[in-house]
Amino acid sequence: MRKYKSHIARKLSSLTGMDESDIGSLIETPPSDDLGDLAFPCFSLAKSLKKAPAAIAGELKGRIEPDEFLERIETKGPYINFFIDKKRLIASVIAEIAGAEENYGGSNEGSGKTIVIEYSSPNIAKPFGIGHLRSTVIGAALKRIYSHLGYSVQGINHLGDWGTQFGKLIYAFKQWGDEARLKENPIEHLYEIYVKIHQWEEEDPGIADATREEFKKLENGDEENTALWERFSDLSRVEFEKIYKMLGVEFDSSPGESFYVDKMPAVEKSLMDLSLLVKSKDATVVDLEKYGMPPALIRKSDDTSLYATRDLAAAIYRKNEFDFHKMIYVVGVAQTLYFNQLFKVLELMGNKWVADCHHASFGWIKLGDEMMSTRKGNIVFLDDVIAKTIEKTKAIIEENSPGLPEPEKVAFEVGVGAVIFADLAYRRDTDISFDWAKMLDFRGYSGPYVQYTHARISSVLRKYGKGVPANCDSDLLKLPEEFAMAKILSRYSDIIDKAAREFEPFHISSYLLELCGVFNTYYQKYKSAEDRILSTDPGATDARISLINAAGIVLRSGLRLLGISAPEMM
Ligand code: ARG
């Protein structure tokens, strides 16, 4: 609808003098078809025109002529409702999708602009948590969505590879490190000794001093500690890489927090020059009481640096390096206060661009009982969850489609797709629960359902037996279900815009589910009728094939933006 929106915005702008893009962003999709295809609410004009919105709507309606795009215009209270010419909509959406293929729904709004997205960011020497999965999947989807809109996107993995925990780990490794186990299962071994040192510290405060000392040595470049830290870091990166590969996720860089260590003194100096630093009992802080927040910790009394200091350095570094249009941190809701503090300190330092920084937070994942049973010790390892999901998918596929070619590959694509979709099927801030029954319900609110609908379209196209026709007579598409499908396909671009604006890949997943519903209704209708999609009338068949081919392209595109494959058969 992007095209129709701009057409209407242009008209309204010339009548009211209001900015075209402001109008564009106010145009909505009405809640039901009898209210038209697009609507403009007149509230925003009431103030400047000193009239009631409903009166403005009536007046404007009288001055807009229907044209080749707009069949008729009506008003309902403060809304002007636009009815798009049906035939034209169907014909243009089919042609546009066939022409653009996988680029459909894209734009060049981002040309020349860079978006920095920070996502995943697991911690070295710790298991890749289920929470990090959400960050990874949401961030990677946002990266593809923004790229689709023509932005240049920098995907950054802010690995937790610095901080006092490394003092503990080094100390623990010097005590209990086991080379063989480190080789065999690095993260499990490191995590195990980390948990052990934690307990020991609680029993014996002297140990805490010793581990702090190890971190201090690391910060001061001690050779032995640096070498240990490097090994832990390398081993963890290799493990994380396996997960990224499974999920099909990439980064432009994975510098980790340690990268910013030598950039911190400059930050601290400017904080000092601005007299923002105050001493509190065991740390140097920026006081944020005036803003209703606890102080931001910059340096500890033992002179070691902190998470926030590294984040300040990172933000400033990225602004200098990428001159971003926006920077998006995809981090759990538990760190909301922390990001508010971080942004406030950046603002106090005079960085006006902090207005372009956003914390795209997300809720918790709760694991169903069955999934919890994959636990080792107290934690559930993500690679185990994914492997088990693939195994279960394979069993379902073997039962549903015996003899399917490449069952392993399909099970992998569907299993991983199920995990990703389950993660993106709700608004970010919603707490979600993961359970296999729901995630792998091929007829439900799931990734496999969308993939299955796509495969069904591919199957009809295979039966058609020829290439999709270059031209068709779309006037032959007369069913209301056909218009409904064309209409939802034309909304794809608006959905992408909205997903980007709100940092919500969920808009795409719920759109895909809706599109599947519209397609499946259409498909069922033909299945039970005398007439089939592949009918005896070649003209009608070509038109229907063109329409469902367009639906297939959009499903594939949407799945791709979410990071999910679209197998042709399943
Ligand atoms: N490594 C952190 C964690 O696991 C997340 C990092 C978030 N990003 C940031 N710039 N602070 O909690």
With beta carbons less than 8 A apart as the criterion, state whether 558 and 512 touch. Answer: yes
Residue 235 clears pLDDT 80, i.e. is over it:
yes
pLDDT value, residue 527: 78
Cα radius of gyration (the chain): 28
Q: What is residue 56's DSSP assignment?
A: H
**pLDDT for 368:** 85
Q: pLDDT band at residue 529, thresholds of 50, 70 and 90? A: low
Q: What is the pLDDT of residue 330?
A: 98
Is the predicted pLDDT of residue 375 greater than 90, yes or no?
A: no
Q: How far apart are CA 44 and CA 49, in angstroms?
A: 9
CA of 7 to the centre of ligand 1 (A): 44
CA angle at 44 for the pair 42 and 49, rounded to the nearest 5° = 85
Question: How many Å lie between the centroid of ligand 1 and the Cα of residue 310?
Answer: 11
Residue 344 tokens read as 């406030």
- Which tokens is 434 given? 């993961």
Taking 80 as the threshold, does the pLDDT of residue 378 lie above it? no
> Would you list the domain boundaries of the chain?
2-84, 114-263+310-367
pLDDT at 302 over 80: no
| Closest C-alpha residue for ligand 1 atom 10 | 311
Look at residue 468 in the predicted model and tell me its pLDDT. 93
pLDDT of residue 131: 83
Residue 318 Cβ inside 6 Å of ligand 1? The answer reads no
pLDDT for residue 325 is more than 90: yes
Largest CA distance in the chain: 86
- Least confident segment among 45-49, 374-378, 565-569: 374-378
Sheet holding 38-41, edge to edge: 38-41, 79-84, 70-76
Residue nearest to atom 5 of ligand 1 (CA): 121
Say how far apart CA 34 and CA 70 lie, in whole Å.
15
Atom of ligand 1 nearest to the CA of 314: 10
Q: In what order do the strands lie in the sheet with 296-300?
A: 277-280, 283-286, 296-300
CA of 485 to the centre of ligand 1 (A): 42
Per-position DSSP letters for 103-161, written without gaps between them: GTT--STTTT-EEEEE----BTTS---HHHHHHHHHHHHHHHHHHHTT-EEEEE---B-
Report the share of the chain in percent with pLDDT over 90: 84
154 pocket-lining for ligand 1 (C-beta < 6 Å):
no
d(CA 243, CA 19): 47
Q: Is 118 in the pocket of ligand 1 (CB under 6 A)?
A: yes
User: What is the dotted CATH code of the domain comprising 2-84?
Assistant: 3.30.1360.70
Question: At the topology level of CATH, where does 114-263+310-367 sit?
Answer: Rossmann fold (3.40.50)
User: What digits encode the pLDDT tens for the residues 154-206?
Assistant: 999 999 999 989 999 999 999 999 999 999 989 989 999 999 998 998 899 89
Write down the pLDDT at residue 374: 78
Q: With CA atoms as reference, report the closest residue to 98 among 566, 565, 547.
A: 547
Whether 432 shows a pLDDT value over 80: the answer reads: yes
Whole-angstrom distance, CA of residue 18 vs CA of residue 161: 51
Query: Is 329 a pocket residue for ligand 1 (Cβ < 6 Å)?
Result: yes
Are the folds of 2-84 and 114-263+310-367 the same? no
Q: Write out the two tokens for 288.
A: 């944020």
Atom 6 of ligand 1, residue of closest alpha carbon: 121
Closest residue by Cα to residue 295 from 312, 310, 277, 311 = 277
Contact at 8 Å (CB) between 49 and 56? Answer: yes
Nearest ligand 1 atom to alpha carbon 338: 11
What is the whole-number distance in angstroms between the Cα of residue 160 and the centre of ligand 1?
A: 6
Average pLDDT, the chain: 94
What average pLDDT score do residues 358-374 get? 89
pLDDT in tens, 28-73: 999 998 999 999 999 999 988 899 999 999 999 999 988 889 999 9
pLDDT at 371 over 90: no
pLDDT digits (tens, 9 = 90+) for 462-489: 999 999 998 999 999 999 999 999 999 9
The candidate with the shortest Cα–Cα distance to 147, out of 103, 184, 198, is 103
